[in-house]
Amino acid sequence: MSNIRKTQRKNKTNQVINWPPVNEYFTIDSLTKSNPHMLTSSGSDITLRVRLMNAVKEEPKTVSAIGTLNLGKGRPQLAFAMIPVSQEALDKAAANKVILAKESELISVVKIENKAPAVIIQPVKVTNTLPVNA
C-alpha cells in the first residue's frame, strides 16, 4: 500500500477545514490554498473535495453552491458560499463574473421561433404572343 503508518493516515483524516467567512464566496482552488494541511502526501486534495461535497449535501448543510465560474477553457468551476448565503457574497461573486445559479437557469441555449416565412407575391406581366404558322 504505502509506507505511511496507519496512525499517521488516521491523524490526517481528523484535521479541521478552515472555512472562509460568511461574506465571501470560494472555489475548490481557493479552499485548497487556504488549507494546505489538508493535501495528501502526493499533493491530492481529494479529502478536501469529499468534505466540501459532504458539507453541501449532508445535513446539517453548512455550504451552498451558488454558481459557476467559467474560465474559458474546460469545465467551469463551482462557486460556494457558507450558509446562510449573504447578499454581500453574491455581489462579490457576480462582480467576479460568477454565473449565479438563479441566473444560469434563465439562460436560453437555443431560441426557436415559430413564424411562417414571409411570402412576397409579385404580379406577373402577361405578354400576348401570336402563334407562328409553319
CA–CA distance, 24 with 131 (Å, rounded to integer): 90
For the record, the C-alpha cell of 13 comes out as 483524516
Residue 5 predicted with pLDDT over 70: no
Tell me, what amino acid is at 43? G
Q: Give the model's pLDDT for residue 45.
A: 85
pLDDT band with cut points at 50, 70 and 90 for residue 131: confident
Domain boundaries, the chain: 20-104
pLDDT computed for residue 25 by the predictor: 93
- Residue identified by cell 509506507 is 3
**pLDDT tens by residue, 6-62:** 555 555 567 888 999 989 999 999 999 998 888 877 778 888 898 999 998 988 889
Q: Which DSSP letter does residue 29 get? A: H
